[in-house]
Structure 1
Amino acid sequence: MSATAVSVKPKIILTEDWTVVVLGLAIIAISLSGLIIPAPAFGWKTGGDLFEKVFNAENGWVIFQQFLFTYFFAIAGTLLTGKSLKAILPGFPVVFVLTLGALLLAGNKTLKDLNLEAVIFSLGIGLLIGNLVNLPDWLRSSLSTELFVKIGLVLLGTSVIFGDVLKAGSLGLIQALVVVLSVWYFAFWVCKKLKVDDELTMMLSSAVSICGVSAAIATSGAIDGDSKKLSYVISLVLITAIPMMLLMPYAADYLGLSPQVTGAWLGGTIDTSGAVVAAGTLAGEEALKISTIVKFSQNVLLGVAAFAISVYWTYTKNNSETVKQAKPSASVIWERFPKFILGFMAASLIFSFVLNAEAIDSVKGSLKSLQGLWFALAFTSIGLETRLADLLNADNRKPLYAFLIAQTFNIFITLAIAYVLFD
């Protein structure tokens, strides 16, 4: 290799995990300093609404601000991790435009009433284009899925406020603990019995027991999971949430459950927050309140669960690489531990115990919008790099069976726990 070639080779400054911690906390610090990126409006009902409410000059400028902001951090992440700018410079704008299309679809009132999350549209658009169009190499190499997902996860920590849950009620937290532990271990056991691979086992168990999409994403990050497997799990979560959202309120009414028990059942069973709100609304105001508390209590456990999963994964993975290998030391576990979890926990602790309510209220809308945008960008990227043929082969039947069995167990065990605690 020539001296010239060596001199232009990008230098790795930070690992990807430390990079997302730095970038995620930097975004939070910038917002708290007063430079707040507004959340754009994407809600519309008719074609006229689309141009009046979304494509007006003011909202267009807000969207452009978000683009410049995320573009800057995507470039910063590329530089910090020592990757080439040649791909990300033209590639990120393409991914952003595709993601913008997904956010517009998710903002349509008819689709929004079905509580379909933006990530399902971004994943769908990515899958459609990625499987119908032969993507150029520069676009494929620009897909920084892990970077986008983990920045979103650090920002997710700002919405996990421990104090809110404790004030809302101890019963919701108790139910969340019992449900998460029992359903997670049952799902893990079923996956092992059906010989589902280890990565899918961890993602499926977390998704069905904790908080659906966010839990699957966090677990995938904690174990450095395959993005194709993650998209498969997310698809299962979102697809099964729809019939549960529509049918469970009527089942609760048929069974004669009280609003409190109904809410606890819905919040502990349905895997996405949007679907929980929709189901709770169908069941009544009191059921909506309890379901929200229980679901939020499960969300709070996400950081603890991701931490435990990451320690378990690094410990067992290292031990399985070589027969009769010595147990890994603390330094090895630390080396493999996903550092983005530290960013998530730091954000959660700061917003739970350091900042006052006024400071939180001033930035929560902006950070929530940016968090959703990073996740949507990540799932557009996942779709673009995923081949449907790989997802629909016969090997994926066992994970499907495992998920459905675990979800059925979740429905019945959560009903029993909700009845004991809230009746």
Structure 2
Amino acid sequence: MSTQPKQFNIHEDWTVVILGFIIIGISLFIFLPEVPVFGWSNTTDLFTKVFDLANLKILLIQFLYLISIGTIGAFLIGRSVKYFLFTFPIVYLLTLIALILAGNSAIKSINLEAVIFSLIIGLAIGNFFKLPEWFRSSLSTEVFVKIGLVLLGTGVIFSDILKAGSLGLIQALVVVISVWYFAFWLCRKLKVDDELTMMISSAVSICGVSAAIATSGAIKGDSKKLSYVISIVLVTAIPMMIFMPIIAKYFNFPEEVTGAWLGGSIDTSGAVVASGTLVGETALKISTIVKFSQNVLLGLAAFAISVYWTYSHNTTSEAAESKPTLKVIWERFPKFVIGFIGASLIFSFLISPETRDGVKDSLKNLQGIWFALAFTSIGLETNFKDLLSNNSRKPLYAFLIAQLFNVIVTLIIAFLLFS
């Protein structure tokens, strides 16, 4: 029997846009959630910082805030509010464990992000314990991901894009376009399925985790495939972060070139910062600018991917011999992209820099929490055997070969533009 009442139902994508702007409105005009502390180095730190009474109070307020937003979402979409209220505290508690693990200084030093711990914890619980079907069906994975993506738009500021400079933007455009098409072509040659092809192409060419998540949302992709791609991205970033600075120093690359190389080819922002720091201050600055220049293309990429996907995967009866109409494109277009772009425009042109600076840390924290909640949910609803055995090695080979192509092309462009 279905657990989803039918008396009220708004499209999921419009719901996440509504929820995203509710969060933004609350942060700007009503209440700014404090950012909890998750960083710790030893047991003493753990109890005096993370489990400090003041921090626990912040976490409690955050829990009430998130469950309120999620409850509104469950109601608007037409899901069972009762089951959501039962499952969310469990998902939140597991996510907190992941965030605390990721906050350890030793873990941070190797740049393992919270989402990988969320996924691992979810997989462990979901595969070692038999969860009721109503529990799995009440998980709000897509809602959590898309709320995080709408909030991601608040960090894409047009004035910052201009500050990135023409060279950074030129490199970002050339790298993203060339690497994306190479990865797409390679996946097709290796007969990787269409959803994984799109996620791998975006992840390796644009900005890793965020690009894979946005692409999955744009094509309404399988969350199991998304978790597979995210795992590859995060694991691959670690050796790149360590060995690329070593290679650059061995061959005496100029710092500017090294920074552009790191920023254009390493897929996660945290790993870019860590690797740039290993080289020097100039490399850190250039790598950050180049990486940010790639990140700002995410909204445009999601828009283009969603339109392409609608044209190439239209299954309506008339589509067999004709292109889909604008109406079909609009119906299938992921509305969260509108939320992402709208948030970016508001924070770029309608809000003062002082106000923006005052809320950015809180909104970034909320964005990260929603993503972490999503990956805990993905783990809980995913069969571990399916995640590993049902995927052939071809997607992994495609990603690694495309990443090697990315490293070579980015280095050539970095020398041409920054040497």
Give the RMSD, CA atoms, in angstroms: 1.5
For residues 80-129 of structure 1, what are the alpha-carbon distances to aligned partners after superposition, in whole Å with 9 as ceiling and x for unaligned? 00111231011000000000000000111111111111101101111111
Distance in 1 between residues matched to 2:199 and 2:400, nearest whole Å: 14
TM-score with structure 1 setting the length: 0.96
**Hey, what's the Cα distance between the residues in 2 that align with 1:58 and 1:380?**
26
Q: Deviations over 1:337-377 (max 9, x none)?
A: 00000000000111112211111011111100000000000
The worse-fitting range, judged by mean Cα deviation, of 34-43 and 190-199 is 34-43
Residue 314 of structure 1: aligned partner: 310
Q: Does the CA-based 8 Å contact 2:204-2:267 persist in structure 1?
A: yes
Contact 1:118 1:376 in 2 (8 A): yes
Q: Which amino acid aligns with 1:261?
A: V
1:335 and 2:364 aligned: no
* Pick aligned residue for 2:347 from 332, 345, 351: 351
Separation (CA, whole Å) in 2 of partners of 1:277 and 1:148: 27
Equivalent residue, structure 2, for 1:124: 120
How many pairs does the alignment contain?
418
- Kindly tell me: are residues 88 and 394 of structure 1, through their superposed partners in 2, closer, same or farther at Cα, counting changes over 3 Å? closer
Q: Deviations over 1:362-409 (max 9, x none)?
A: 111110000000000000000111112112226421101100110000
Q: Which moved more, 1:144-153 or 1:250-259?
A: 250-259
Identity %: 67
Distance 1:26 1:413, change over 3 A: same
Name the SS of the counterpart of 1:392 in structure 2.
Answer: helix
Give the drift of 1:142: 2.1
Residue equivalent to 2:178: 182
The equivalent position to 2:217 in structure 1, one of 218, 221, 225, is 221
8 A contact 2:245–2:258 mirrored in 1: yes
CA distance in 2 between partners of 1:112 and 1:69 (Å): 27
User: Could you tell me which of 21, 24, 28 is aligned with 1:32?
Assistant: 28
Where does residue 371 of structure 1 map in the other structure?
367
Shift of 1:324: 3.3
Stretches of structure 2 that go unaligned for 5 or more consecutive residues are none
Q: Deviations over 1:198-244 (max 9, x none)?
A: 00000000000000000000000000000000000000000000000
- Unaligned regions of 5+ residues in structure 1, if any? none
Which residue pairs with 2:129 in the alignment?
133
Task: Output aligned runs, 1:269-308, within 5 Å.
Answer: 269-308=265-304
Partner of 1:99: 95
Which segment drifts farther, 29-38 or 242-251? Answer: 29-38
Correspondence list, 1:65-76, <5 A: 65-76=61-72
For the residues of structure 1 that align with 2:332 and 2:217, how far apart are their CA atoms? 12
Which amino acid in 1 is paired with 2:357? D
Q: Which amino acid aligns with 2:188?
A: K
Give the Cα–Cα distance (whole angstroms) in 2 for the partners of residues 130 and 176 of structure 1. Answer: 39
**In structure 1, C-alpha distance between the alignment counterparts of 2:264 and 2:322, rounded to whole Å:** 40
Is 2:47 aligned against 1:62? no
2: CA distance, partners of 1:317 / 1:408: 30
- For 1:152, the aligned partner's letter is G
Alpha carbons 1:92, 1:142 under 8 Å: kept: no
Contact preservation (8 Å) 2:237, 2:266:
yes
Mapped partners of 2:120, 2:221: distance in 1: 20
- TM-score, normalization: structure 2? 0.97
Residue 137 of structure 1 and its aligned partner are, at CA, apart by: 2.8
